[in-house]
Structure 1
Amino acid sequence: MPEKNSASIKTLLEILFVSTRLGLTSFGGPIAHLGYFHEEYIRRRKWMDEKSYADLVALCQFLPGPASSQVGIGMGVMRAGILGGIVSFIGFTLPSVIALIIFALILKGFDIGNAGWIHGLKLVAVAVVAHAILGMAQKLTPDLKRKAICLMALVIILLWQTAYTQVGVILLAAFIGFIIYKNHNDEDDSKIHFPISRKVGIICLALFFGLLILLPILREASSLDWIAMFDSFYRSGSLVFGGGHVVLPLLEREFVPTGGLSEESFLAGYGAAQAVPGPLFTFAAYLGAVMNGWSGGLIATIAIFLPAFLLVLGTLPFWDQLRRNPNIKGALMGVNAAVVGILIAAFYQPIWTSSILKPVDFAFAAILFSMLVYWKLSPWIIVVTGAIGGALLALLT
């Protein structure tokens, strides 16, 4: 028994170490985070096979909330149960939460949005995401039919950019995949192990919907500021599709018109959120800290990420059986192909369009890509090189 506990503690510490390192170095937004996860968890550590990772990404893209954080939580859960998910979430999220609370308390108004090293980190994201897309495309779009589904997803996502387009594309791809591949017979015996029961999953889903209904009632019945804040952040985290950038208008409507904070403070925090690694949802930590100090920052962080956590724990216990069902497999083949298209669309807008502004940017991104793909250097080396190179380029140009 002690050996088992020792092994569990060792696994949790490993998850904490790896996720914290990702939390300190994962710049570039949710799609870039998926690239970093793919490099670290799938290519280097082989914690999961490519198809299972793609299935997990597809599930988290479909759920409301921060997709990259949900993928990180899912990886932790599969590795070491609920505790693994919590540890993975803490490691990936805490660095940016601490940084943004510090920004809120000390560095408000300090303009870092146009710093050269920030631009260098955007170029790192170009290299990382390009590598992830190439690897996933080889595995998930091997035939012309799936390449066509990928192309369809790419075109629709780029031409109709709404909060619900992504979910619509995934549903359409699932239907097309079901029709085309319903009699497809592959020999994929990969099985995801979920160390949590369906009972726990049902409880988590019940909590998710229960809090969504109960919190507004408590808010009306109580005069406590922290309940009102918790309700605002929880609702924003529950109802957003498409990642951190989509949640910003929701948060602005919740707090700026009501006098919670000024438009200038809101925009300053947004600039700070762009400058730190980790999920953009940690912008909530900044907002909470501006309104109610460091404790407000922690409450806001817990509230905005809690829906994502409950949804992942609620759906994962049922996911493996669904994805192995012959009637569902074809649909998932279509969805996985669409996910590649979604990633390519996000690679162009906003990653490429906000990063590759001059020929020298493309040249530096190509160097970073080569360091990652051909010289196989560790991602943290690529991040440091990108930051230093971006700062030098800003001085030279």
Structure 2
Amino acid sequence: MLKHSIHAAAKKMQIDFEEVTENINHMGERGSSREAILLRYLRNYIPSKYEMDNGVIIDGNGTQSRQQDIIIYDSFNSPVLLDMEKTKMVPIESVFSVIEVKSSLKKTEIEKCVKNISSVKSLVKNGLVEINSPTAGFVFAFTSTTTLETLLDNLVEANHDVEKHKHISVICVLDKGLIVNVSKKGLKDIVLVPDEDTTLAIIKNTAENNLMLFYLLLMQYLNQSSVSVPNLLKYASEGELLNIEYTIPKRHVPLDGYYEFNGGVIDIENVNKIMKDSDLQEKICEGKANSEDIMLYLSKQLNNIVKHAEKINGNPQYTIDFMGKIYRVFEIEKSISIFNKLNSGEEVDQEDLDLYTGFCKDMYEQYRSQF
């Protein structure tokens, strides 16, 4: 029964397309009509859980695909991010497949199909659960003035710089046949997700059987594929629809937490230690500190600063950058030792005093040069 229904649909599609071709001269309207013919057929034979529309696909990074003739996506769990009369915007995580629809397939149209489908397969999926299957790309054409063998050559040429997993899954030319991917191991099994172990092959048949096979391959992919619920907060923040910034009152900041920075982590406890002298640090940052303020701050925070830097870089820290100049840690430690002795009233020999005076002068001049 299904076979007879699809055969009848194939004949009806050809008749409808011929009428469209004869009666519509404007290419835009003709394109919309050919897509409507295929959509009408697909909606009769594909379960209602699969929604089908034309539009653009977007990922959580804000990257958009090219305009797609038909997008097949999850109609139960997927939000449509933009829903206008002539186009929609659908998140990539919800998309099972796309279909490019052509009146007559030729080399230039194949090149467009490759670019359009590759633009979809380049999008990044970021679902709430990691169950996303690859998005498949199909091409459907009503006819072609070119042989399937030449179309295959055109496809190979257009795919030259395209990664294998971004290739088209199936091309159907209704009145000629199909171009499919088959496994190199045995050269008989049709593979709907192209990879390095597949190669292109041709299937020639009647229009009725071509439509039947196209339908079966599309349904097989839909049945074996899984999509996820998109992470809508990521879409909102990356698309600048929503600015999310966290503020935690100081008394509630967890000391056992951490910040992420440059691929590493920074313990909040270490940050708090550095911030204990925040008034002195603020004075230095505003250019209002004197030489003694700088040494006082370093005497209290040098160890924390060094540990903090080692935590970020993952390596021992022998130098630090102070106001755009690199100073060796052991020289700073020596000057701090002398600074502490002077503050406690201990005796300091002339050599150490000269070392300390010269170091403080150099550091202060470097500091002042930044303001």
TM-score, normalised with respect to structure 2: 0.23
Structure with greater Cα Rg: 2
Q: Larger relative contact order (C-alpha < 8 A, sep ≥ 6)?
A: 1
Q: Which has the higher strand share?
A: 2
Q: Which has the higher helix share?
A: 1
TM-score, normalised with respect to structure 1: 0.22
